[in-house]
Amino acid sequence: MINSTAFDYVNVLTKAADASYQREAILANNISNVNTPGYKRKDLNFEGVLSQELGRCKHQSLDKKISKLDTSKLTANVYTDHSNYSYRMDGNNVDIDTENVELASEQIKYEALTSSISSQFSRMKSVL
């Protein structure tokens, strides 16, 4: 059996791609509620969870950190953003420009993640 961390990376990249896809849907929902009185924007925090899980294994290489990572703990947290104060009279705190920029950024991130997953499988295929 070949000892490789390639599948460990694929598992983490897959979790990240799933979270990115979910965040795109949340951002699109924020955009669709831009005119809903009292609506508070929602967001998703995957990077914080990943950083926290990787930070538990200090003084190790990334390969070791990834191999020891429990991917079942990599669940993205959806939260309501109450800290982004509303300047509107109706209490809605969605800024359409910010949401559009975040959505475009997330779409680019998702493309990069799926491309990375494909690259990992291409490398494995070329080795075989």
Residue 107 CA to residue 31 CA, distance in Å, equals 15
Where in the chain are the domains? 4-127
Q: Tell me what pLDDT residue 65 has.
A: 80
Average pLDDT over the chain reads 87
Task: Choose the weakest-confidence range: 13-22, 78-87, 90-99.
Answer: 78-87
Q: Is the pLDDT of residue 85 over 80?
A: no
**Are 114 and 17 contacting, i.e. CB atoms less than 8 angstroms apart?**
yes
Q: Is 121 helix (H, G, I), strand (E, B) or coil?
A: helix
Angstrom CA distances, 106 to 13, 19, 48, 113, stand at: 14, 10, 15, 10
Q: Tell me what pLDDT residue 60 has.
A: 76
At residue 41's C-alpha, the angle toward residues 72 and 99, to 5°, is: 95
**Are 10 and 117 contacting, i.e. CB atoms less than 8 angstroms apart?**
yes
Q: Tell me what pLDDT residue 41 has.
A: 94
Q: Tell me what pLDDT residue 86 has.
A: 74
Q: Tell me what pLDDT residue 6 has.
A: 62
**Are 57 and 48 contacting, i.e. CB atoms less than 8 angstroms apart?**
no
Percent of the residues in the chain that have a pLDDT greater than 70, as a whole number = 92
Q: Tell me what pLDDT residue 24 has.
A: 97
* pTM reported for the whole predicted model: 0.84
Q: Tell me what pLDDT residue 1 has.
A: 37
Report the Cα–Cα distance between both ends of the chain, in Å, rounded.
13
> pLDDT tens for residues 8-63?
888 899 999 999 999 999 999 999 999 999 999 999 999 988 888 888 767 778 77
**Are 71 and 15 contacting, i.e. CB atoms less than 8 angstroms apart?**
yes
